[in-house]
Amino acid sequence: MDLDPIFLALLFVVWAGLGAAAWLAIAIFQRGRGVLVGLPPAMAGGIGAGVLVPALGADNEAGLMLSLVAALLGGFALALAAIRVQSRMRIRG
């Protein structure tokens, strides 16, 4: 049995979880006001940034650690951007 698809699926779950963790940090800081809109972009940002690191060629152990950090930062950036757009458009959520 080839374990590569299982490992890749696990990485996607971890990257999405790190994006959600970044969103959770923002939600705690803002006391939950108007942050729900940022959860899907945060998870997508975590996955996107996590995938980008190995796609650029860093596919060793250091690349794995770098992809985890990138997933956290990507989730943070997209969640913050979505929350800022929501507040500028005055959308209640």
pLDDT tens digits for 15-31?
A: 999 999 999 999 999 88
Name the average pLDDT for the chain: 90
Closest to 26 measured CA to CA, from 57, 65, 72, 90: 72
Reported pTM = 0.87
Q: At 11, is the pLDDT very low, low, confident or very high (cuts 50, 70, 90)?
A: very high
Examine residue 45 and state whether it is found in any structural domain, yes or no.
yes
Domain holding 84, by residue range, is 36-93
Rounded to a whole number of angstroms, the CA Rg of the chain reads 15
Examine residue 83 and state whether it is found in any structural domain, yes or no.
yes
Number of domains in the chain: 1
Residue pLDDT, tens place only, 55-66: 888 878 888 899
Crossing angle for the helix pair 4-29 and 61-89, to the nearest 10 degrees: 40
Examine residue 20 and state whether it is found in any structural domain, yes or no.
no
